[in-house]
Amino acid sequence: MRIVLDPAAPQPVGLVDLDVLTAFDVAVPAGTTAAEAAAVLGGVGELDPRGEDLAGAHVRVRLDWLRGTAHAGGAGPGWDERFDAMIAYARSKGWVDDAAGTVRAHVAVG
């Protein structure tokens, strides 16, 4: 599953590859600044940048946004169970903040 974030696009945030629940990241075009990325995240989550360069940055993505967007985008039968397994794995790595309802995603620049 991948969040595609492009501040220059008509729809700047999208969720793709819904059925790929063995990988998770936020893809941004090269040259996107941390300020631009943060400005379009809205209800998706919060950027945890490493300065203005997005290389090595993370986004704390809201779990309710992921689930709701996936269902709106046509997540098929069994998706919830596979999503829950992905989140359980992320939790075992310390990437889930249960109190905040977020999961950490790496930012992929390119």
- Domain that residue 21 falls in: 2-109
Q: Average model confidence (pLDDT) for the chain?
A: 93
Q: 0.85 exceeded by the pTM?
A: yes
Q: What is the mean pLDDT of residues 33-42?
A: 92
Total number of domains in the chain: 1
The burial of 53, by beta-carbon neighbours within 10 Å (0-12 exposed, 13-18 middle, 19 or more buried), is given as exposed
61-110 pLDDT tens trace: 999 999 999 999 999 899 999 999 999 999 999 999 999 999 999 999 98
| Res. 49 pLDDT band, cuts 50 70 90 | confident
Q: What is the mean pLDDT of residues 15-22?
A: 94
3-state secondary structure of 83: helix
The number of angstroms, rounded, from the C-alpha of 11 to the middle of its chain's C-alpha atoms is: 15
